[in-house]
Structures are given as structure tokens and as C-alpha cells.
């Protein structure tokens, strides 16, 4: 029997982004053996085009989607937007095209929240909330990554079917025996190097921790527009010998960098969904030092898996590093608990099961997807 076709919308699969990672995980999982998953590219990533070319693509893309639905007989369209203005308005015509073609629509929100999209201006916020209430009724199901966004969405559109389906990872590359945490603390930060991801607070916190006697080394993996300024900050803080810039890291090289660390530093205040870096680090047994942003508190329990710090607070990061450095037995226990947490609730097998159940429901079965505890 021919597998049902699902069109999965998102960026070029080769770009560096959380949504591209999500697409690659889905298309490489057991879900792709139960459903015929077909990638449909939206967004400018990986394209070489000017302004005219971009406008032509944006205009034509919903019609191209309609043609692909007709050609493949796709019964489900799985959109993967973020609730930021650019992604929301870009994907709205795709949502409308899919519904007009008779497809069932999964609308999975990967970042942001209604409150962030609406902004703080009272008049604009009221108007935008009305637009959101109307358009978020169009999908057959809305999928979110965090409990806080789940509650906000259910309050905004109470009649909509909103599901919590957190991100997940292939844990296998990050498993392996952990060394005894002796010697300098091995710290790791990975991601796009922009101010809101917390890299500057990370190196400032390291400098403060070293001033308190903490012996630690930091590896920073990734690239981004703030890389030169971050490198300059490291030099100004006198940390050139303690901080290594590893550049963009993928595949086995990334897994090796993660496995060779003790602590994951992710003091982000970006409009996150559920960072893959967090799940990968915890799967490898790292202890995360993180902020209470988006879905992070759904995964991390204070003092059990990791430590929370306020956003933009290098002093709190230094204190957290001193706490972990002073009690290596606790560091080892928390690392083991982190690994158990991700293996139990955030594996790719769980994600494939969740979406297989959700897709089946949309096609008329009564299976209910699991959610992470």
C-alpha cells in the first residue's frame, strides 16, 4: 500500500538553523518509513537572488505549493514557521494555499510567541492579536515546543487544537563513557554568534569565575555577525589562552566537541523555541547553565540537571561555575541525570511516534500523540 504523502515546508536542508535541523531529523527518522515525506523549500536561505528575484519567488511560491499538492496528492502539509514578522507573513499565503487545495495543515511554531509578534504598541498589539486569532484558526492543528507558548496559544485561540510536541534529537552520536571530571572545567558554547545568544555573558562570566580561582577552559563553536567583536572581547578580558574558537561544527566533529566537555553554557535571551544545543549537550552528559527562556525550563530542573541564571548576568554565570567546580561529585550526578532526561523524553524515536500519531489523527484515526513529561 502506498504511503500517504506529507509536504514538509521549511528552509534549505543544508543551512544552519534549528528548523533545518528539525527537517533533517524528521526526514531521516522512522516517520519517513510510514509516510512519504516530501520537502518543499520556503525562505531565502541557500538562494542567490536580488530584491526582484525575492519578490518573484514570494509571489510564486504559494502557487508552486498548490501545484505540488496536486501533483503528489499530498493529504497533509506540515508548515514550520516562527512567530516573527518575516516568517509569519511569508508562510501565511502557504497556509492559505494548502487549505484551498483541501490539504490538512500542521502548523508547527519553532520560535517566538503571540505576545512577541504583537509587540508592545497598544494599537498595533490589539490589531495584530485580532489577525492572529483569525489566521491561527486556519490550520487543523497547531504544534508548539514549550508549555509557556502552549498556554498562550490556548488562551488566544481556545477553539484551536494546540499540541505540545517538543523537539528531539538522535542521541546516539552523543553517547559514550564520561571521563572523571578532574582538572580544569571544560566549558562549551555552541550556536549562532549573535548578542542575544549569551556568548558575551559567557566569556565575561568565565573571566569573573577565573578571578575567583575557578580553573576552566571554554570552547566556542559556531559563526555569526558578532564573531569579530566576541574575539575582541576575549582578548580584552585576557582570556586568549583559555578560550578556543572552533568555528562551525557539524556531524561527528560537533559530537566530539560536545562529548569532550563538562558544562554547557547557554545563557540565551533570544526568542528561542527548544534549542537543539541543549538537548545534544544533555544527551552527552553535560551540565547546562541556562536561562528560563521558552522551553528550557520544560527540560531542565534546577539542581537536578543544571543551573539557571538570569539573562544578561555574567556574575550569576561565574557563581554557577564556582558551584560546579567546587563539587565535582555533584557535577557528575547532574550530568548523568541530564543524559537520562533526554534519553527518556527527547529522543528522535519519541518525535517520530508523536508525528506519526498526529498525522494519522488528521487522516481519520484515533491515535493520540505522546508528549514529553
Residue at grid coordinates 528561542: 272
- What does the alpha-carbon distance between residue 185 and residue 213 come to, in Å, rounded to a whole number? 12
- The segment(s) of the chain belonging to CATH 3.40.50.2000 are 5-168+347-362, 172-345
Give the model's confidence band at 370: pLDDT under 50 very low, under 70 low, under 90 confident, else very high: very low
Condensed to tens digits (0 to 9), the pLDDT of residues 81-111 reads 988 888 899 999 999 999 999 999 999 999 8
The cell numbers describing 80, all together, are: 514550520
pLDDT at position 365 is 58
Rama region for 238: left / alpha / beta (φ>0; ψ in -120 to 50; rest): left
pLDDT at position 181 is 65
pLDDT at position 299 is 97
Q: Is the pLDDT of residue 172 over 70?
A: yes
Which H or E run contains 107?
strand 104-108
pLDDT at position 372 is 46
Region of poorest pLDDT, from 42-46, 323-327, 356-360: 42-46
- What does the alpha-carbon distance between residue 87 and residue 97 come to, in Å, rounded to a whole number? 16
- What does the alpha-carbon distance between residue 96 and residue 349 come to, in Å, rounded to a whole number? 31
- What does the alpha-carbon distance between residue 338 and residue 101 come to, in Å, rounded to a whole number? 44
- What does the alpha-carbon distance between residue 60 and residue 94 come to, in Å, rounded to a whole number? 10
pTM given for the model? 0.89
Count of Cβ atoms closer than 10 Å to residue 225 Cβ = 10
The cell numbers describing 363, all together, are: 487522516
Condensed to tens digits (0 to 9), the pLDDT of residues 108-148 reads 999 888 877 777 777 778 888 899 999 999 999 999 999 99
Count of Cβ atoms closer than 10 Å to residue 215 Cβ = 11
pLDDT at position 122 is 76
In Å, what is the CA distance from 70 to each residue of 5, 74, 301?
11, 7, 47
Report H helices in 101-244.
Answer: 114-118, 122-135, 147-156, 199-211, 227-236
The cell numbers describing 338, all together, are: 541530564
CATH for 5-168+347-362 is 3.40.50.2000
Strands 185-190 and 307-308: unpaired
Q: What is the homologous superfamily of the domain 172-345 according to CATH? A: Glycogen Phosphorylase B; (3.40.50.2000)
**Contact call for residues 175 and 279 (beta carbons, < 8 A):** no
The cell numbers describing 84, all together, are: 516573527
Label residue 1 exposed, middle or buried (CB < 10 Å: 0-12, 13-18, 19+).
exposed
pLDDT at position 117 is 79
Condensed to tens digits (0 to 9), the pLDDT of residues 258-290 reads 999 999 999 999 877 899 999 999 999 999 999
- To the nearest 10 degrees (0 to 180), the angle between helices 314-326 and 328-345 is 110
Condensed to tens digits (0 to 9), the pLDDT of residues 217-269 reads 999 999 999 999 999 999 999 999 999 999 999 999 999 999 999 999 999 99
**Contact call for residues 45 and 192 (beta carbons, < 8 A):** no
Coil vs helix vs strand at 36: strand
**Contact call for residues 13 and 48 (beta carbons, < 8 A):** no
Amino acid at each position: 500500500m502506498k504511503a500517504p504523502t506529507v509536504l514538509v515546508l521549511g528552509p534549505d536542508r543544508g543551512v544552519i538553523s534549528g528548523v533545518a535541523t528539525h527537517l533533517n531529523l524528521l526526514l531521516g527518522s522512522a516517520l519517513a518509513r510510514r509516510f512519504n515525506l516530501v520537502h518543499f523549500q520556503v525562505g531565502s536561505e541557500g538562494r542567490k537572488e536580488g530584491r526582484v528575484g525575492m519578490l518573484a519567488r514570494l509571489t510564486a511560491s504559494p502557487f508552486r505549493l498548490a501545484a505540488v499538492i496536486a501533483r503528489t496528492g499530498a493529504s497533509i502539509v506540515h508548515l514550520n514557521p516562527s512567530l516573527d514578522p518575516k516568517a509569519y507573513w511569508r508562510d501565511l499565503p502557504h497556509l492559505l494555499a494548502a487549505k484551498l487545495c483541501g490539504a490538512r495543515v500542521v502548523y508547527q511554531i519553532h520560535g517566538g510567541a503571540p505576545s512577541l509578534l504583537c509587540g508592545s504598541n497598544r494599537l498595533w498589539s490589539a490589531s495584530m492579536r485580532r489577525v492572529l486569532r483569525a489566521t491561527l484558526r486556519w490550520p487543523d492543528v497547531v504544534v508548539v515546543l514549550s508549555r509557556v507558548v502552549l498556554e498562550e496559544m490556548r488562551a488566544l485561540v481556545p477553539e484551536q487544537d494546540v499540541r505540545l510536541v517538543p523537539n528531539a534529537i538522535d542521541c546516539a552520536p552523543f553517547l559514550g563513557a564520561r571521563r572523571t571530571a578532574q582538572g580544569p572545567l571544560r566549558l562549551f558554547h555552541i550556536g549562532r554568534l549573535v548578542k542575544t545568544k549569551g556568548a558575551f555573558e559567557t566569556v565575561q562570566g568565565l573571566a569573573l569565575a577565573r578571578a575567583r580561582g575557578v580553573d576552566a577552559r571554554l570552547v566556542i563553536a559556531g559563526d555569526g555577525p558578532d564573531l569579530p567583536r566576541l574575539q575582541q572581547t576575549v582578548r580584552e578580558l585576557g582570556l586568549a589562552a583559555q578560550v578556543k574558537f572552533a568555528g562551525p561544527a557539524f556531524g561527528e566533529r560537533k559530537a566530539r566537541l560536545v562529548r569532550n566537555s563538562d558544562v554547557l553554557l547557554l545563557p540565551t535571551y533570544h526568542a528561542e523555541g527548544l534549542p537543539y544545543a541543549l538537548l545534544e549537550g544533555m544527551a552527552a552528559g553535560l551540565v547546562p547553565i541556562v536561562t528560563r527562556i521558552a522551553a528550557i525550563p520544560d527540560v531542565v530542573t534546577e539542581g537536578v540537571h543544571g543551573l539557571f541564571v538570569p539573562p544578561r548576568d555574567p556574575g550569576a554565570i561565574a557563581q554557577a561555575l564556582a558551584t560546579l567546580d567546587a563539587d565535582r561529585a555533584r557535577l557528575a550526578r547532574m550530568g548523568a541525570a541530564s543524559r537520562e532526561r533526554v534519553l527518556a523524553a527527547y529522543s528522535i524515536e519519541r518525535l517520530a511516534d508523536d508525528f506519526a500519531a498526529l498525522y494519522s489523527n488528521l487522516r481519520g484515526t484515533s491515535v493520540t500523540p505522546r508528549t514529553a513529561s
